């Protein structure tokens, strides 16, 4: 156990040092030389944030020379729009550009016209995922006697999982989730066509959410059920 704690303690941190919101006056007043000397004692490069007078985030940037960049912001196009600043010294193993893009993408500051360029946008994969799920539902509706094809997208929903859910939550609760009568649920269960109907009716995701919720209520250790049911 001690070794695990030591390993966690020594793990590299995302932010090695930081200077939370301080006044812009440190770059302009009589203490600017002291502030400059202080910054030079620490790493030159890092991320910074500029804030409006009311504390609202205005701009996020990165710099290989923080003092030089912050000084430039006193008189550039952002000069009149910020009143406070913060500095973050990031772990050297990370790319400043990636962290900057992440922060800009999440917070969308007013002053950042470029919203950052994070790689591996998942929107296309999400579109393909939803398209395939829709096609599966359509095919199951048009060809009711044909078993829906098992794919990575639908293999998580099985007849056994749905039956196990009914055993635990009841026919009425299942009927409410699927939007059909308890009698229809019993009929589909008896014909072993629950999985096929769920996919055809476009209820796959809703049923999976319900199954996951039930799984949290009935952990494997206390259920005593075989592994082929709700937890496989």
Condensed to tens digits (0 to 9), the pLDDT of residues 49-60 reads 999 999 999 999
Condensed to tens digits (0 to 9), the pLDDT of residues 182-197 reads 999 999 999 888 888 8
Parallel/antiparallel/unpaired status of strands 84-90 and 15-23: antiparallel
The pair phi, psi for residue 195, each rounded to 5°, is -60, -45
Q: Are 159 and 183 within 8 A, CB to CB?
A: no
- How far is Cα 29 from Cα 31, in angstroms, rounded to an integer? 5
Q: Does domain 9-107 have CATH number 3.40.1440.10?
A: yes
Identify the pLDDT of residue 58.
Answer: 96
Condensed to tens digits (0 to 9), the pLDDT of residues 129-146 reads 777 777 777 777 777 776
| Position 34 confidence tier, pLDDT thresholds 50, 70, 90 | very high
> Is the overall model pTM greater than 0.85, yes or no?
no
Q: Where are the domains of the chain?
A: 9-107, 123-223
Token pair 């196009």: residue: 77
């Amino acid at each position: 156990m001690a070794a695990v704690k030591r390993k966690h303690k020594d793990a590299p941190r995302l932010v090695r040092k930081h200077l939370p919101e301080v006044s812009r006056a440190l770059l302009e007043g009589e203490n600017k030389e002291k502030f400059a000397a202080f910054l030079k004692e620490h790493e030159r490069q890092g991320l910074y944030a500029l804030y409006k007078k009311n504390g609202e985030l205005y701009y996020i940037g990165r710099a290989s020379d923080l003092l030089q960049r912050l000084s430039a912001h006193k008189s550039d196009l952002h000069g009149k729009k910020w009143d406070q600043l913060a500095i973050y010294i990031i772990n050297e193993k990370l790319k400043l550009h990636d962290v900057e893009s992440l922060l800009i993408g999440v917070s969308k500051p007013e002053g950042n016209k470029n919203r950052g360029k994070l790689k591996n946008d998942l929107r296309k994969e999400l579109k393909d995922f939803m398209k395939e799920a829709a096609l599966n539902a359509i095919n199951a509706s048009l060809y009711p006697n044909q078993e829906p094809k098992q794919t990575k997208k639908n293999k998580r929903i099985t007849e056994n999982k749905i039956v196990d859910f009914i055993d635990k939550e009841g026919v009425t609760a299942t009927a409410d989730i699927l939007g059909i009568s308890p009698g229809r649920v019993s009929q589909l269960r008896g014909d072993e066509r629950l999985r096929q109907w769920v996919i055809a009716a476009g209820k796959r995701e809703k049923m999976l959410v319900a199954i996951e919720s039930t799984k949290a209520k009935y952990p494997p250790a206390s259920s005593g059920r075989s592994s082929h049911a709700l937890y496989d």
